[in-house]
C-alpha cells in the first residue's frame, strides 16, 4: 500500500471508495501546485529535468551510468528514488555525478515535494541536465507531475511485448519510450515491431528508441533525444 496516494486501499464499500477518491483528488491537486513551482524554478535556471520511470530491473540505472559517462560539456545531476537503500545512489556517485537519494519507505513513487527537497540539497548549476530516477513501478509515478521537462518510460525486452497494453496510463504519459536490452533479442520472445504498435495505440505522440545500455547499441538516438 502506498502511504502517499493510498493505492492499496480496498474499495469494497461505496463510502470508503468516495473518501479515497476525494483524498486522491486533494493529494494530486496539492502536488500539481508544487510541480508548477518546480517547473518555474527549473525554467529560471535553465535546468532540464527528465523523469525516468520503469518497473524494477529494466536497466534504467545502468542506462544512467553510461549516459553520465558519455555526456560531455554539460553539468548533470541525479535524484534517485527507491523505497529503501542507497545502492543506486552509490552507483551514480561512482561516476562522479552529484546525486541525492530519496527513500520513500512505503511510498511507491516520488512526488513534487520530494523532488524539490532533493533539488535544494543538490544546489544545481545553471543549465543542469537533471535525471530523476523514479521508484520502480509502472502505475503510481504516472499520476504525479514533478515539474519535469520530459517523461521517459524504460522497458526491457525481458519484460514482454505487451507491457504498454497492461500499463496504458504510464505509457500514455510518456514523451519517450526506451526499449532496453536489445542485445538479448535473440534469446527472448519479444516482438519489437508489435511493441512499437502497442505504444502507438495508447500514445501516438510518444517516440520509441530501442537500445542496449550494456553494449551501447543505438545510444546515439537516446543522446539526440536528450539534447533536442
H or E element: which one contains 179?
A: strand 176-180
Domains and CATH numbers, the chain: 14-227 (3.40.50.300)
Yes or no: say if 151 and 128 are a contact pair by the CB < 8 Å rule: no
Yes or no: say if 152 and 134 are a contact pair by the CB < 8 Å rule: no
The span from the CA of 94 to the CA of 164, in Å, is 33
Per-residue pLDDT of the chain (228 residues; tens, 9 = 90+): 465 565 654 444 555 566 666 767 888 899 999 999 999 999 999 999 999 999 999 999 999 999 999 987 889 999 999 998 889 999 999 999 999 999 998 889 999 999 999 999 998 999 999 999 999 999 999 999 999 999 999 999 999 999 999 999 999 999 999 999 999 999 999 999 999 999 999 999 999 999 999 999 999 999 999 998
Give the Å distances, CA to CA, from 227 to 87, 126, 130, 162, 218: 28, 16, 12, 29, 15
Q: What is the pTM of this model?
A: 0.90
Yes or no: say if 156 and 181 are a contact pair by the CB < 8 Å rule: yes
Confidence at residue 9, expressed as pLDDT on a 0 to 100 scale: 47
Yes or no: say if 55 and 138 are a contact pair by the CB < 8 Å rule: yes
H or E element: which one contains 15?
A: helix 14-45
The span from the CA of 91 to the CA of 82, in Å, is 13
Instruction: Identify how many contiguous H helices and E strands the chain contains and give both numbers.
Output: 8, 7
Instruction: Give the position of cell 493529494.
Output: 27
Confidence at residue 6, expressed as pLDDT on a 0 to 100 scale: 58
Q: How does strand 99-103 pair with strand 76-82?
A: parallel
Amino acid at each position: 500500500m502506498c502511504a502517499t496516494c493510498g493505492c492499496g486501499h480496498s474499495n469494497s464499500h461505496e463510502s470508503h471508495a468516495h473518501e479515497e477518491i476525494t483524498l486522491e483528488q486533494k493529494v494530486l491537486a496539492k502536488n500539481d501546485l508544487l510541480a508548477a513551482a518546480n517547473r518555474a524554478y527549473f525554467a529560471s535556471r535553465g535546468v532540464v529535468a527528465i523523469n525516468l520511470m520503469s518497473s524494477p530491473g529494466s536497466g534504467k540505472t545502468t542506462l544512467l551510468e553510461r549516459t553520465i559517462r558519455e555526456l560531455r560539456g554539460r553539468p548533470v545531476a541525479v535524484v534517485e528514488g527507491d523505497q529503501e537503500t542507497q545502492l543506486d545512489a552509490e552507483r551514480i556517485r561512482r561516476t562522479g555525478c552529484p546525486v541525492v537519494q530519496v527513500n520513500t519507505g512505503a511510498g511507491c513513487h516520488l512526488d513534487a515535494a520530494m523532488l524539490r527537497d532533493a533539488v535544494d540539497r543538490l544546489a544545481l548549476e545553471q543549465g543542469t541536465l537533471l535525471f530523476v530516477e523514479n521508484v520502480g513501478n509502472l502505475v503510481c509515478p504516472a499520476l504525479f507531475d514533478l515539474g519535469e521537462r520530459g517523461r521517459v518510460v524504460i522497458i526491457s525486452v525481458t519484460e514482454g511485448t505487451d507491457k504498454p497494453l497492461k500499463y496504458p496510463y504510464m505509457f500514455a504519459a510518456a514523451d519517450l519510450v526506451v526499449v532496453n536490452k536489445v542485445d538479448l533479442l535473440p534469446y527472448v520472445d519479444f516482438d519489437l515491431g508489435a511493441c512499437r504498435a502497442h505504444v502507438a495505440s495508447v500514445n501516438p505522440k510518444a517516440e520509441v528508441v530501442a537500445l542496449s545500455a550494456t553494449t551501447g547499441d543505438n545510444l546515439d538516438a537516446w543522446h539526440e533525444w536528450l539534447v533536442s
